Structure 1
Amino acid sequence: MAAQKGPLPSRRHFLQTAGLATGAAVASAVGAGRALAAGYPERPIRIIVPFAPAGPTDIMARILGQNLGTALSGNVIVENRSGAGGNIGIGYAAHAEADGYTLLVSSSAYVVNPSLYATIPYDPFKDFAPIAELGTSPNAIMINPKLGINSIPELIAHAKAKPDELNYASPGAGTTPHLSGELLKIVAGVEITHVPFAGAGPAIQALLGGVTQLAVTALPPAIPYIDNGSIKALAVTGSKRWVDLPNVPTMIELGYKDFIADTFQAFLAPVKTPPEIVTRLSAKSVEVLRRPDIVEQLRVNGFEVIANGSDGLRRRIETEVPKWHDVIAKAGIKPV
Structure 2
Amino acid sequence: MQRRVMVATFGLLPCIVRAQGARPIRLIVPYSPGGATDILSRLLAPRLSESLEQPVVVENRAGGNSIVGTEAALRAAPDGQTLGMIDLAFVVNPAMYATLPYDAQRDAAPVGLVASAAQVLLLHPAVPARNLVELVALARARPGQLSFGSAGAGTAVRIAGEQLRIAAGLDILHVPYRGGGETLAAVTSGEVSMIFSGQAQAKQLADAGRARPLAITGARRGRRMPEVPSFAEAGFAGVDVVTINGLIAPAGTPPEVIRRLNAAVVQALRQPDLAQRLTELGFEIIGGTPEEFAAWTAAQLPKWDALVRTAAIRPE
Q: What residue number does 1:161 align with?
A: 141
The AA in structure 2 aligned to 1:90 is: T
Contact 1:223 1:302 in 2 (8 A): no
Give the deviation of 1:228 after TM superposition: 2.3
CA contact (8 A) 1:200 1:218 kept: no
Distance in 2 separating the partners of 1:201 and 1:178: 14
The Cα shift of 1:212 comes to: 2.7
Q: 1:185 aligns with which of 128, 144, 165?
A: 165
| Worse overlay, 272-281 or 315-324 | 315-324
The residue type paired with residue 13 of structure 2 is A
- The DSSP-based 3-state class of the residue aligned with 1:323 is helix
Q: What letter is aligned with 2:70? A: I
- The corresponding residue for 2:41 is 61
1:143 partner amino acid = L
- Percent identity, aligned pairs only, is 36
Mark the runs of 5 or more structure 2 residues left unpaired by the alignment.
1-8
Query: Which runs of structure 2 are paired with 1:108-257 in the superposition (5 Å)?
Result: 108-257=88-237
Q: Is the 8 A contact 1:132 1:310 kept in 2?
A: yes
Please show how residues 85-124 of structure 1 align to structure 2 within 5 Å. Answer: 85-124=65-104
Matching residue within 304, 308, 320 for 2:300: 320
Alpha-carbon distance change, 301 to 127 in structure 1, aligned in 2, over 3 angstroms: same
Change (3 A) 1:239 1:318: farther
Question: Aligned letter for 2:166?
Answer: I
Q: CA offset at residue 80 of structure 1?
A: 2.4
1:233 Cα deviation after fit: 0.9
User: Could you tell me how far apart the structure 2 residues matched to 1:271 and 1:137 are?
Assistant: 27
**Gap regions ≥5 residues in structure 1:** 1-32
Deviation at 1:258, TM superposition (A): 4.3
Of 14, 20, 23, the match for 1:38: 14
Partners of 2:192 and 2:69 in 1: how far apart? 30
CA distance in 2, matches of 1:202, 1:52: 8
> Residues 137 and 220 of structure 1 are in contact (CA less than 8 Å); yes or no, is this contact kept in structure 2?
no
How many residues are paired up?
304
* Cα distance in 1, alignment partners of residues 84 and 184 from structure 2: 27
- Report deviation, 1:332: 1.5
- Greater radius of gyration (CA): 1
Aligned to 1:17: none
- How much has 1:35 moved relative to structure 2? 9.0
Residues 286-295 or 221-230, more deviating: 221-230
* Structure 1 residue 245 displacement after superposition: 0.2
Match of 1:71 in 2: 51
User: Cα distance, 1:36 vs. partner?
Assistant: 6.8
Query: Which residue in the other structure is 1:10 paired with?
Result: none
CA distance in 2, matches of 1:35, 1:133: 22
- Say whether the 8 Å CA contact 1:207–1:214 is kept in structure 2: yes
Would the alpha carbon gap of residues 81 and 335 (structure 1) be closer, same or farther in structure 2, given more than 3 Å must change? closer
Residues 171 and 217, structure 1, Cα contact 8 Å, conserved in 2: no
Deviation at 1:248, TM superposition (A): 1.0
CA 1:224/1:250 → structure 2, altered by over 3 Å: closer, same or farther?
Answer: same
Go from structure 1 to structure 2 and tell me whether the alpha carbon gap of 1:231 and 1:54 turns closer, same or farther (over 3 Å shift).
closer
Whole-angstrom distance in 2 between the partners of 1:160 and 1:189: 8
TM-score, normalised by the number of residues in structure 2: 0.87
- Residue 61 of structure 2 corresponds to 81
Contact 1:112 1:325 in 2 (8 A): yes
Shift of 1:335: 5.0
- Deviation of the 1:253 alpha carbon: 2.7
Deviation at 1:181, TM superposition (A): 0.8
1:51 matched residue in structure 2 = 31
Mapped contact 1:42–1:74 kept (Cα < 8 A): no
SS of match in other structure, 2:215: strand
Alpha-carbon separation, structure 1, partners of 2:315 and 2:176: 16
- Specify the SS of the correspondent of 1:146: coil
Q: By how many angstroms is 1:249 displaced?
A: 1.8
Quote the offset at 1:132 in angstroms.
Answer: 0.9
Q: What is the Cα deviation at residue 171 of structure 1?
A: 2.7
- Please report the TM-score for the alignment, with normalisation by the length of structure 1: 0.83
Contact 1:181/1:216 (8 A) holds in 2: yes
Q: Distance in 2 between matches of 1:252 and 1:42?
A: 52
TM-aligned CA deviation for residue 267 of structure 1 = 0.6
Provide the alpha-carbon RMSD of the alignment. 2.3
